[in-house]
Amino acid sequence: MLPASLIDLSDFSSEEWQKIVSLALKIKEHPEAYFGRCEGKILATLFYEPSTRTQMSFQTAMLRLGGQTIGFDNPMNSSVAKGENLRDTIKIISGYADILVIRHPMEGAAKAAALNADCPVINAGDGGHLHPTQTLTDLVTLMQEKGRLDHLTIGLCGDLKNGRTVHSLIKTLAPFQNRFVLISTKDLCIPQYIRDILDANGSSYEEVFSLEEAISELDVLYMTRIQKERFASQEEYDAQKDVYVLDKEKLSHAKGSLRILHPLPRVDEITVDVDDDSRAVYFKQAVNGVYARMALILTLLSSEEKTPVPTGKEIKTATCRNTKCITHTEPYLPSCFQECGDMLICDYCEDRFLI
Ligand code: NCD
């Protein structure tokens, strides 16, 4: 039984998400065979944060499948501006649409939405936490470019702390036999929970500072933008920006078979002259986002029996310590946690703390 919603790709078995990736590649080959498959269905896009690719690729995907779309891309033009809570907005829109896509600045918001929705919910990015449909896009691109998702040396470079695309990709690929080279400054290294997932899977990984030193051994380089909007101050952002810039000189030390991915948007972490290098596949990757999302919409709308969003144990006396967690702005949400030894793991944002 498939999960009803896509909040975290880890809620799907690897067979289930691999089927979605294969379907995306099939759709890419013969898109016309899938036109009209969602006729009469409505997809709602609720974007509480800016987006170009994710929002428009979802809209394109639904239109190509013959369905229609509704939604907002500025919550201040919706009843959110009048103080409506997430629960009520979701309740109402899930009564209008057949499937709902949400992007929100708070971590765990998509899960909170799914718990209150009467239709499938897709997480299109919840703060600095996860971005599973970007991961589907990345996996389609890796299959297309490398023909496999294992035995790869994958470098991830830039804002590994706040980059939700990085977290989702590592979580999904950790159980496969890949080697991760995590390239960042100390301040922007991966969160502890991602390190714990790598350890639990026995994954090989190293955390390094220098892109120059790491680049020659990589099969895949996943560049990311420094996530300005997640910084507490301009000074903190200024201290991190421009540390990593992939240019032609650095690329001259890389393998001919390297593939450079980037979820985009790019700021200045890849110079524009790299775009002409055949190893740069980020624009192809953005196009794959449409096929990945067509495959996902088709899968979620066609599965008959679905498992509800998994929830942990409600502990009324406990509060998540992560100030960016949705439980702080939507206080009616049940305080649910997974218990792990002497730690509690927040069900929404995965922040973990000692009891
Ligand atoms: C990413 C995101 O929103 O997390 N963009 C995207 O969806 N393609 C990456 C980013 O904004 O840096």
For the chain, strand residue ranges (E) read 2-3, 42-47, 68-72, 99-104, 121-126, 153-157, 179-183, 204-208, 220-223, 259-261, 306-307, 313-314, 336-340, 343-346, 352-354
Asked if residues 352 and 193 have their Cβ atoms less than 8 Å apart, the reply is yes
- With 0.75 as the threshold, say if the pTM is over it: yes
Residues with Cβ within 8 Å of residue 18, at least 6 apart in sequence: none
Residue keyed to tokens 């006396």: 317
Q: Please state which of the four CATH numbers 3.30.230.70, 3.30.1490.190, 3.30.530.20, 3.40.50.1370 is assigned to the domain occupying 2-131+287-307.
A: 3.40.50.1370
What's the pLDDT at 45?
98
d(CA 314, ligand 1 centre) in Å: 32
* Mean residue pLDDT across the chain: 96
Q: Could you report the per-residue pLDDT of 205-248, keeping only the tens digit for each?
A: 999 999 999 999 999 999 999 999 999 999 999 999 999 999 99
pLDDT at 1 over 90: no
What are the residue boundaries of the structural domains of the chain, listed by start? Answer: 2-131+287-307, 132-286, 313-354
What angle do helix axes 132-146 and 282-302 make, rounded to 10 degrees?
A: 120
What's the pLDDT at 355?
81
pLDDT at 311 over 90: no
What's the pLDDT at 323?
96
Q: Ligand 1 pocket: which residues have CB below 6 Å?
A: 53-54, 125, 131, 134, 164-165, 225, 227, 263-265
How far separated are the first and last CA of the chain, in Å rounded? 34
Quote the percentage of the chain above a pLDDT of 90. Answer: 94
Q: Could you report the per-residue pLDDT of 42-60, keeping only the tens digit for each?
A: 999 999 999 999 999 999 9
pLDDT at 194 over 90: yes
Residue 318 CA to residue 310 CA, distance in Å, equals 19
What's the pLDDT at 3?
87
Confidence band, pLDDT 50/70/90 cuts, at residue 304: confident
- DSSP annotation string for 255-279: -TT-EEE--S--SSSB-GGGGGSTT
Considering only CA atoms, which residue is closest to atom 1 of ligand 1?
263
Q: Could you report the per-residue pLDDT of 136-184, keeping only the tens digit for each?
A: 999 999 999 999 999 999 999 999 999 999 999 999 999 999 999 999 9
pLDDT at 134 over 80: yes
Asked if residues 127 and 164 have their Cβ atoms less than 8 Å apart, the reply is yes
d(CA 339, ligand 1 centre) in Å: 31
Q: Which CATH superfamily is domain 132-286 in?
A: Aspartate/ornithine carbamoyltransferase (3.40.50.1370)
Q: In this structure, are strands 68-72 and 42-47 parallel, antiparallel, or unpaired?
A: parallel
What ligand 1 atom has the least distance to the C-alpha of 124? 7
pLDDT at 339 over 80: yes
Query: 266 burial class (0-12, 13-18, 19+ CB within 10 angstroms)?
Result: middle
pLDDT at 325 over 90: yes
- Residue closest to 8 by CA, chosen among 136, 105, 97, 106: 136
d(CA 266, ligand 1 centre) in Å: 9
Q: Assess whether the region 2-131+287-307 and the region 132-286 belong to the same CATH fold.
A: yes
